[in-house]
Amino acid sequence: MNLLEIRNIHKEYYKGDKSAIIVLSNINFSVKKGECFIIIGPNGSGKTTLLKLIGLLELPTFGQILYNNKNLINISRKEKVNYRRKFSFVRQKPVVRNTSVFNNIAYGLKVRGMRSIDYQEEVNEIIQFSGLKGMEKKNARSLSGGEMQRVAIAMNFVISPELYLLDEVSANLDSMNLKLLDDFIMRIKQDKEKTIIMSTHDPLEAIKYADRIAVLNNGQITQIGRPNEIFTAPKDEFTALFVGYENILYGLAELDKATGLSQIKINDLIITAASQQEGEVKVCIRPESIGIAKEPPKNTSYRNTFKGFIENIRELGNICHLIVRCQSEKFLITITELSRKNLKLEIDSEVFINFKATDVKIL
Amino acid sequence: MPNEIIEGILEAIRLIFTFDPEVWGVIEVSFRVSLTSTFLAALVALPIGSFIGLRKFKGKNEITNLINTFMGFPPVVMGLLIYLLLSRNGPFGELGLLYSTSAMIIAQFLLAIPIIMGTAKAAIESVDPILKETVLSLGANERQLWWELIKHSKKSIIAGFLVAFGQAISEVGAVIIVGGNIRWETRTFTTSIVLQTRMGEFGMAIALGVILISITFIVNYGLTRLQARVD
Amino acid sequence: MSSRRPLKEFVGDHKTAIILAIIIIVGGSVGTYFVIDYLNAQNPEKITLATTTSTYDSGLLDYLLPKFTEQTGIQIKVLSVGTGTAIQYGKDGNVDVILVHSRSREDDFVNASLGVGGVPYGIYRACVMYNDFIIVGHESNPANLHPGENIITVMTKLRDAIDNGNMTFYSRGDGSGTHSKELALWNLIGVDPETRWKNQPDKYSETGEGMGTTLLITYEDAEAAHEGYTIIDRGTWLSLFEQYTTLKILAESIVGENYLLNPYGVIPINPILYPHVKYVSVCRFVGFLTSPYGQDLIDAYRKNNQVLFHADFGTCDHDTACTTTADEITIWKPYQIEFADLTV
């Protein structure tokens, strides 16, 4: 069952001269419980507005937002508060309340009617987790931007909502805070009861966290699908240009004692990656780092060589995309039109593809 | 004339430190009336004004215009209105409140309401809209949001209170009409200054003026310090 | 955690109760004011007197009233306003008694046919005292007034000097007793200043202010072309003249003429029209003012060693432009007995 359904949402703002600016039009999608749904799009595409509409912070011009099959448009103020309490909303540029870090983080619990003695432990735990230990009594407004973002994230995570709305939270974060954000998101994703809707303009972030991705351009959704669909088969030029191309594979990583490298099993395919990771992983290989040949390569230093056949060819001016199927997986490979002609690569040609272990990026 | 000002200042110091009963009586009435009416007005106007600032509703612009108009309501006209209401042949004449501090409190209360209401409304509206969204998204209901915004606009609200208090203590037209400038009872700084000027006692008038300005300065200073501390 | 923590928590957890308590405390204290003021208004031993600025500002009442309170225990709240306002306050029933100086309007005030439904606003007017008006101006005296001139000559000289642009006359213009006296004086020579010098403030200017302020304006108008004149009651003049060195008395009452005399009358508000007035206490007050003791006190009052008011109850004659009827004298006799044994 869908947790959230967005039906035909349309939003326009009115300027001073009463002329309308259409921010979102004809938006339709649904999100399942436990899913991580990512909205990707350039700045000004309407991501923030869409998240605000879902967070009940604004009203659409028309359309429906269904949560557990209940339409959230036109509900009473009281009900709206009750639904908002099931959500949280973290924004790119956080605003904190003009009080201590502790009180900021505790606020969500306090407004839900918890007494201060009851939430001490929870708040302290999240302060510890966010690396804010020792800053509890500081005024949150006196913190640096990164610390403030941590407070803002902690503020929303402590209330443990059903649905997390994250609006470009990773933008402007330094590596230390990115790591913390990553820990938080991973912690939510482990909990199958929690749902995330997140917006970003960073394709890698989308690949990393998304179960499904919606591409938003100029107020309209151009494509919705699993990450590998979006990144290997973009529906239109905008999507292709904006997200770029990536081969995305899902597998189980095991550490090979002999080499000290991860062996990732994807059905019958085993990929070696320059990493020590284990467990379920998501793997990215950029199409231009994959080599292709008609004969099995000899004396190659490439650790990964697979035999397959060309399933499809897309010509894009002087470069072209080849879709090569190796057993269960499809790989997108970019080569120049000239080398394709030289190699006489046609549909159904038998080929060998290879790539370095260092080009295998584990997310 | 400068001589009179210097003499007035010396006289002010003498009156204060010799605990002149008349002057202290005037101080007492002025502050009792101004502070009570301003507090009372704040009690009424703050919730209403901030609520208007909080919500969007039909007719909000009209209400805003009305508040702004009443912010500049001429005190003398207010005095006259209260006189007519409290006059024995008026609707509330039975109460016999004319020429009492109660009547003065009522007049200044009504004068202070639009000032405090208007500043509270503006203060709430000027809070960063992102803060409002943040507080809402953290699950605050309307009352909790309201309280949060009040806390964030404390400074402007205190400033509004100061303006209202300043107007109340320096106001003369309304209090002289409804209070009657009765010695020991309803005589304030300003009505006393009017009387002393009329009687040609410029020294005394200046002395009272000096005391009024000094005390208002101290009160303002105190409240401004408080304003700085609330941050 | 600091030691302030428990208090903050207490406040946090009892916010509603604390706000409620503040409302109750503030509301309660304001309510107390209202109740006290309400009870004061009901107290028969507290009466309100509306009088003119001239009696109050001259200090006469501050001198008289404590002696009355000492004897009777009755406290008097004094509203010092212009005669017109004092009479209006009386008509509205907002005061218990008035002490004013405008004989024609006082007569209207006690005239049954000008009251409400045949009931007059005030009853049993009594003469209390008189003082006199004087005409003051700058020493240069462009109107060329001389001592001992009769009022017709004085007003005619003023009119001509105004017409010739040699001076400015400053009128109170506020419906006060002084203002109505001034208009009556112009009327003696058939001049209506408000139409004759309409919109010519350099000739005839209405200040709309009290006596003190009007005198100040007159003093400050010392330009050669048109210097200021005004009419003022002697009491106010005596309390102010030292500050206005260039001003002097240019005309005053002469023997056998009462036009410049300024009689004061006291009138209780009619309890039939306004049952709430504290008529009994007011009667004791009028009894005090008209008693030999009260009259002696008035005659004995000095400001800057000058006599300001002359008592005239029951002795008034044509010279003071004031009469108290035999009926009124009879009415107030019983209320004067209370003060019979007192002497100044």
Write out the E strands in C147-213: 167-171, 204-206
Q: Please report the pLDDT score of residue A304 as a whole number.
A: 87
Residue A200 CA to residue A212 CA, distance in Å, equals: 13
Residue A349 CA to residue A309 CA, distance in Å, equals: 5
Question: Which positions in chain C touch B88 (Cβ < 8 Å)?
Answer: 92-94, 274, 276
For residue A35, give the amino acid letter. E
Crossing angle (nearest 10°) for helices B154-170 and B142-152: 70
Residue of A52, A84, A93 with shortest CB distance to B139: A84
Q: What is the radius of gyration, based on Cα positions, of chain C?
A: 25
Q: Does B80 touch chain C (CB under 8 A)?
A: no
Considering the domain architecture, whether residues C241 and C151 belong to the same structural domain is answered as yes
Among C229, C252, C275, residue at a domain's last position: C252
Range of the domain at C171: 131-252
Which 3 state secondary structure label does DSSP give C135? strand
Range of the domain at A296: 248-362
Mean pLDDT over all residues of chain A?
88
Q: Please report the pLDDT score of residue B2 as a whole number.
A: 66
Pick left, alpha or beta for residue B99 (phi over 0 → left; psi -120 to 50 → alpha; otherwise beta). Answer: left
Among C252, C281, C312, residue at a domain's last position: C252
Q: C82: distance to nearest CA of chain A, Å?
A: 56
Question: Which positions in chain B touch A98 (Cβ < 8 Å)?
Answer: 151-152, 231
Question: DSSP character for A56?
Answer: T
Considering the domain architecture, whether residues A290 and A154 belong to the same structural domain is answered as no
Q: Please report the pLDDT score of residue C2 as a whole number.
A: 43
Confidence of residue A247 (pLDDT cuts 50, 70, 90): confident
Domain assignment of residue C5, yes or no: no
Mean per-residue pLDDT, C137-143 = 90
Residue B200 has pLDDT above 80, yes or no: no
List of residues 6+ apart from C151 with CB closer than 8 A: C185, C188, C251, C257, C259, C260
Residue C45 has pLDDT above 60, yes or no: yes
Mean per-residue pLDDT, A188-207 = 90
Q: Using an 8 Å Cβ cutoff, are C137 and C167 in contact?
A: yes
DSSP assignments along C271-311, one per residue: TTT-TTS-HHHHHHHHHHHHSHHHHHHHHH-EETTEE--EE
Confidence of residue B136 (pLDDT cuts 50, 70, 90): very high
List of residues 6+ apart from C203 with CB closer than 8 A: C162, C163, C165, C168, C169, C197, C226
Of all residues in chain A, the percent with pLDDT exceeding 70 is 100
Q: Please report the pLDDT score of residue C210 as a whole number.
A: 82
Identify the CATH number of the domain in which residue C290 sits: 3.40.190.10
Report the residue of chain C nearest A137, measured CA to CA: C1
The domain total for chain A is 2
Q: Who has greater pLDDT, C53 or C321?
A: C53
Identify the CATH number of the domain in which residue A303 sits: 2.40.50.100
Q: B146: distance to nearest CA of chain A, Å?
A: 12
Q: What is the pLDDT of residues C250-291, one digit of tens each?
A: 999 887 788 888 889 999 999 999 999 999 999 999 999 999
Considering the domain architecture, whether residues A87 and A155 belong to the same structural domain is answered as yes
Residue C1 has pLDDT above 50, yes or no: no
Mean pLDDT over all residues of chain B?
88
Confidence of residue C3 (pLDDT cuts 50, 70, 90): very low
Mean pLDDT over all residues of chain C?
87
Considering the domain architecture, whether residues A174 and A253 belong to the same structural domain is answered as no
Helix (H) or strand (E) holding A262, with range, is strand A261-266
Q: Please report the pLDDT score of residue C174 as a whole number.
A: 85
Considering the domain architecture, whether residues A222 and A275 belong to the same structural domain is answered as no
Considering the domain architecture, whether residues A234 and A257 belong to the same structural domain is answered as no
List of residues 6+ apart from A79 with CB closer than 8 A: none
Considering the domain architecture, whether residues C211 and C65 belong to the same structural domain is answered as no
Domain assignment of residue C4, yes or no: no
**Topology of the domain covering B2-229:** MetI-like fold (1.10.3720)
Q: Please report the pLDDT score of residue C165 as a whole number.
A: 87
Among A194, A212, A246, residue at a domain's last position: A246
Q: What is the pLDDT of residues A297-322, one digit of tens each?
A: 776 778 888 889 998 888 887 888 88
Question: DSSP character for A176?
Answer: H
The domain total for chain C is 2
Q: Who has greater pLDDT, C314 or A126?
A: A126
Residue A39 CA to residue A224 CA, distance in Å, equals: 9
Considering the domain architecture, whether residues A312 and A219 belong to the same structural domain is answered as no
Q: Please report the pLDDT score of residue C244 as a whole number.
A: 85
Report the residue of chain A nearest B153, measured CA to CA: A98
In B113-142, the residues whose Cβ lies within 8 Å of chain A are: 128, 130-131, 133-142
Looking at the DSSP assignment, which residues form a beta bridge with residue A6?
Answer: A29, A65
Domain assignment of residue C8, yes or no: no
Taking an 8 Å cut-off on Cβ atoms, the answer to whether C239 and B199 are in contact is yes
Residue ranges per domain, chain B? 2-229
Question: Which positions in chain A touch C13 (Cβ < 8 Å)?
Answer: 115-116
Helices (H), chain B: 2-17, 21-54, 60-71, 75-86, 101-125, 129-137, 142-152, 154-170, 173-179, 189-198, 202-229
Considering the domain architecture, whether residues A103 and A220 belong to the same structural domain is answered as yes
Confidence of residue A29 (pLDDT cuts 50, 70, 90): very high
Q: What is the radius of gyration, based on Cα positions, of chain B?
A: 20
Q: Which of B24, B25, B6 is nearest to B15 (CA)?
A: B24
Of all residues in chain C, the percent with pLDDT exceeding 70 is 93
Considering the domain architecture, whether residues A234 and A339 belong to the same structural domain is answered as no
N residues, chain A = 363
Q: Please report the pLDDT score of residue C192 as a whole number.
A: 94
Write out the E strands in chain C: 46-52, 75-81, 97-100, 126-138, 167-171, 204-206, 227-233, 247-252, 261-268, 302-303, 306-307, 310-311
Considering the domain architecture, whether residues A121 and A199 belong to the same structural domain is answered as yes
Mean per-residue pLDDT, C78-89 = 90
Q: Using an 8 Å Cβ cutoff, are C279 and C268 in contact?
A: yes
Considering the domain architecture, whether residues A84 and A226 belong to the same structural domain is answered as yes
Residue C8 has pLDDT above 70, yes or no: no
- Residue C86 φ/ψ, nearest 5 degrees: -60, -40
pTM of the model: 0.79
Q: Please report the pLDDT score of residue A329 as a whole number.
A: 86
Q: Please report the pLDDT score of residue C320 as a whole number.
A: 57
State whether ipTM is beyond 0.85: no
Considering the domain architecture, whether residues A241 and A349 belong to the same structural domain is answered as no
